[in-house]
Structure 1
Amino acid sequence: MIVFDQSLSTTKHLWVFNKNIIKFHDDGGNTPTFADIVCTEFVDRIYPDPNDGIFTFDFRKHLKALAVQNDLADMVDLDMGAAVADLVHDDTSEVKYDISLDITINFSDADPVTINKNYTFLVGAEQLIDYQRQESPQLGLFMLQVPKERQKTEYFVNYWEGYPFDISIYSITSGNMNILNQSNGMDIDVPIPGGAIINRIAFSDAVSNLTIADYLPLKTGINKLQITRPGYDPGVHLNESPLTVYINRIESDCGVYVKFRNNWGGWSYWLFNKRKSVSLDARGLESIANDFNNIENTISPIKYSGVEESFETLNCIARRVTAQDMRILRQIIESPKVYLFTGEPYSINKSAQPNQWVEIECLNRSLKVEEPGRMFNDVKIDLGLPFRTNATLL
């Protein structure tokens, strides 16, 4: 019989980019030769430790290969409609992987033995310090966003009205999810379809005149939302509580608007100050000798072929950044996927801009806070735009 010396946790979420190691052996006293790990998503063969016969397997390399098949791109269109149900966009298939695998140990002196195990992994990464600070999300309901410091059910996000924006919610149950704005006492029931474990709740899509305020009024400034999953019973679910999400609604302004995939697998948004600088860099200037005539007939002794490639950098500033803002903003330099919004807020005619996002690169490798002791700080971010297409002679 297969016995596990080290199992994966059943009391916390498992993350694709963290190590997920199992160790196992056979307790029958036979001599193991190899073990096959077989599931729909991958197949692997591993060998035992020659000293104690224990097999060690880390899921991470296979899970990473699954997760990056779509380059961690945003595959969800946040288009909003006239019904509350149109706020909900299923993102389960891009963030959650259910793995059912057979583990078979083969022997040199006995028949093979097999055991089946089922695991669920989420596309993201948990940090050691966050884990030690008890910031690991609860099992039944959480938001795919960095929580407030030393909290697991409280979150803070900025919402620039008119720009595309959503919050991603993990819920193990379907049905009506209640969102209560405790700042004004108004609430809505958002229908969560069956099988949709991870849903993005759209606040604005930037291509219609609809926002979440048409269903759930939000005031300018801080709105304290309470989110309760379908079927939640405080008398039964003793280790769970509703989420508290502080939404800071900010009036629309011009600026550089970006979204980036955060550590928890969701999307974070930021509007940088409209006062920015732009720099253009060129590479690969080639030249051709062209000095074949007398001096009186020569205009260009050297022909320059043109710039092989060039790119622009947006030098952006985030103004009045708080410590909580910094917890969100710092993830942009760690994010594997950053997009620049190329549309306009409240742009109703989407046919004029069918694709409003373009992938860019955060060039920062550190974030400098001017005066860490201050309540508010300015943070500088450099964003590299896609390479430009240039005309050349070669």
Structure 2
Amino acid sequence: MIQFVTPIDAGKLRMAYNNDILRFYSDSTDPALYADVTLSETSAILMVGTEPKTYFTIRLYPNPQGQFYLNLQPYVAATLNTRNFEDTLQTSLAAGNSSSFTYAFSNGTLLNGVLKINVTHKTAEADSVTNTLVWLGGTQQFGDYSRLATSDLLMLSPTKKNTVNEYYLKYWQGYPFDISVLDYNASLIARRNFTVVNQTNALTTTLSPKGNITRITFSDGRTDETPETLLPLAEGTNKLKVSTSATRQRWVHIEKVPYCEGVYLKWLNAMGGYSYWLFEDTYAIDRSTKYNDEIDRNNDNLENSFGRTVQTGKESRDTLKIIAELLTEDERRIVEGILDSPKIYLFTGKPLSQNSYRSWIEVTLKTGSARLKNPKQPLTNFTFDIELPIRFTQTL
């Protein structure tokens, strides 16, 4: 029989970008030759008559004590990340159709599969064990770890300080905005609708899920085609209770802000969802240029030449210097996530009008450090340098 040094917690929601160590051995008296570890898709997502897809198979050999060691993290992350963190969700919101406000987001964000370990011995029959495991495309840090269960209802956003079931988000009118909700269910049939209650004004609506992770879209930029036709939000703070049952519920504090101008960014946060923030309109733009290569042209007399070399062209790039001022603790917990994010987008569309995923461009964070907390100031200020894509120029 296969024994684990640390038992596998099958009910845990595992983070695909944290270590996921397995240590195991066989208690058989016959020495183990090797072990095969295989992850395959679950039967719940198969069509009748089809075989499960194998995500990966790894062969391990025991140490002198007969134990096996494996870190699943790099294999799981490579399997899960099918879209390179890119956000290509195209929405089509319609005020009269509540289903148009929810979209599937499991692909590239959630992976569930059957992990089978098979140990082969010299002469005895092989030992095997299987577990169904679930990974989220996120990460947790030292000092901020809490066990998440596959049975939990989760918002893929930072939680409020010292809570596990409350969230704070900020929503600027006229800009695209959504919330990602995880409600894992191994069955593709027994889906539970989301009941959303605005406890600020006592209004309620029901939204249909789209898989294990659903993005509830509040706006594509328009103010007339939004879920607010079903669940109005007051300016200021709205406390929403999102639930699928009496025991599966979360509270989201959404601060609704009237339209204003600024630099609007979104980025992949540590939970695998997207965070949004409108930075102050007091931004600066710097353009840096440099020459590319030179071609030697020192092949004529002085009076017949323009110079000894020819420039092939220039490289040009803009940098935005953006500011977020006087952030509260809850606001800071959102904005600081941009420092660790592998994918950042700048909104280039038109506010107060319909936008698509093509209304964003990928940018990079040039700023390498920031002070997250100042003991002399209760509120936090951030200044970031955002590099835009290299500009097109005429080159040889």
- Matched residue SS, 1:129: coil
Amino acid at match of 1:366: S
Question: 1:49 — aligned with what?
Answer: 63
**Percent identical residues:** 29
1:96 counterpart (110, 134, 141): 110
Change (3 A) 1:159 1:224: same
Query: 1:146, 1:327 within 8 Å by CA — same for their partners in 2?
Result: yes
Q: Distance in 1 between matches of 2:375 and 2:349?
A: 34
1:70-219 equivalences under 5 Å are 70-82=83-95, 83-131=97-145, 134=146, 136=148, 139-172=151-184, 174-193=191-210, 196-206=211-221, 209-219=224-234
Q: Structure 2 vs 1, CA of residues 28 and 138 (structure 1 numbering), >3 Å: closer, same or farther?
A: closer
1:161 Cα deviation from its structure 2 partner: 1.3
Ranges in structure 1 where 5+ consecutive residues have no aligned partner: none
Q: Is the 8 A contact 2:82 2:108 kept in 1?
A: no
- Structure 1 CA distance for aligned equivalents of residues 318 and 271 of structure 2: 30
For residues 311-390 of structure 1, the aligned pairs below 5 Å read 311-348=317-354, 355-368=358-371, 371-390=374-393
Residue 382 of structure 1: how far off its partner (Å): 0.9
What's the CA shift for 1:137?
Answer: 6.9
Correspondent of 2:290 among 262, 283, 286? 283
Query: What amino acid is aligned across from residue 209 of structure 1 in structure 2?
Result: D
1:178/1:187 contact within 8 Å kept: yes
* C-alpha distance in 2 between matches for 1:226 and 1:45: 47
Partner of 1:33: 33
Task: Tell whether the 8 Å contact from 2:240 to 2:251 is kept in structure 1 after alignment.
Answer: yes
Supply the AA of the counterpart residue of 2:377: R
State the 1:247 CA deviation: 0.3
* Aligned-residue offset at 1:371: 4.9
From the superposition, tell whether residues 370 and 189 of structure 1 become closer, same or farther in structure 2 (CA, over 3 Å). Answer: closer
Query: Hey, what's the Cα distance between the residues in 1 that align with 2:160 and 2:12?
Result: 18
Partner Cα distance (1:112, 1:371) in 2: 59
**1:18 corresponds to which residue?**
18
Q: Out of 273, 277, 284, which is 1:270 matched to?
A: 277
Q: Deviations over 1:141-185 (max 9, x none)?
A: 111011011211010011111111001111135232111111111
Structure 2 Cα separation of the partners of residues 13 and 370 of structure 1: 30
Read off the aligned partner of 1:182 and give its amino acid letter. Q
Residue pair 1:370, 1:378 contacting (<8 A) in 2 also: no
Structure 2 unpaired stretches of 5+: 40-53, 186-190
For 1:285 and 1:61, how far apart are their aligned partners in 2? 38
What does residue 395 of structure 2 align with? 392
Measured in 2, the distance between the counterparts of 1:270 and 1:354 equals 16
SS in 2 for 1:178: strand
CA distance in 1, matches of 2:240, 2:6: 40
What is the DSSP-based 3-state SS (H/G/I as helix, E as strand, rest coil) of the residue aligned with 2:282?
coil
Shift of 1:221: 1.0
CA contact (8 A) 2:23 2:67 kept: yes
Q: Tell me the CA shift for residue 116 of structure 1.
A: 2.2
Query: Of residues 293, 306, 316 in structure 2, which corresponds to 1:310?
Result: 316
- Please say if residues 90 and 357 of structure 2, whose CA atoms lie closer than 8 Å, have aligned partners that are also in contact: no
The answer to which of 372-381 and 219-228 deviates more is: 372-381
Give me the whole-angstrom Cα distance separating, in 2, the residues matched to 1:270 and 1:290: 54
Query: Which residue number in structure 1 is paired with residue 46 of structure 2?
Result: none
Note the aligned Cα RMSD (angstroms): 2.3
Deviation at 1:190, TM superposition (A): 1.0
- Aligned pair in 2 of structure 1 residues 69, 198: CA closer, same or farther (>3 Å)? closer
Partner secondary structure for residue 63 of structure 2? coil
| Kept in 2: contact 1:160–1:251 (CA 8 A) | yes
Change (3 A) 1:302 1:249: farther
1:197-223 Cα offsets, whole Å, 9 max, x none, are 110100001267312222211111111
The answer to whether the 8 A contact 1:370-1:379 is kept is no
1:80–1:208 contact (8 Å) kept in structure 2? no
Contact 2:150 2:184 in 1 (8 A): no
Report the alpha carbon displacement of residue 344 of structure 1 after superposing the two structures with TM. 1.3
Give the 3 Å change call, closer, same or farther, for CA 149–316 of structure 1 in structure 2. same
Contact 1:137–1:153 (CA<8 Å) still a contact in 2? no
Preserved CA contact (<8 Å) 1:7 1:21: no
Deviation of the 1:368 alpha carbon: 3.2
Number of the residue aligned with 1:69: 82
Query: Paired residue for 1:222?
Result: 237
SS at match of 2:115: strand
* 1:377 CA drift (Å): 3.3
Q: Retained in 2: the 8 A contact 1:368–1:380?
A: no
1:2 to 2:5 alignment: no
The CA deviation at 1:139 is 3.3
Q: Is the 8 A contact 2:105 2:215 kept in 1?
A: yes
1:189 positional shift: 1.0
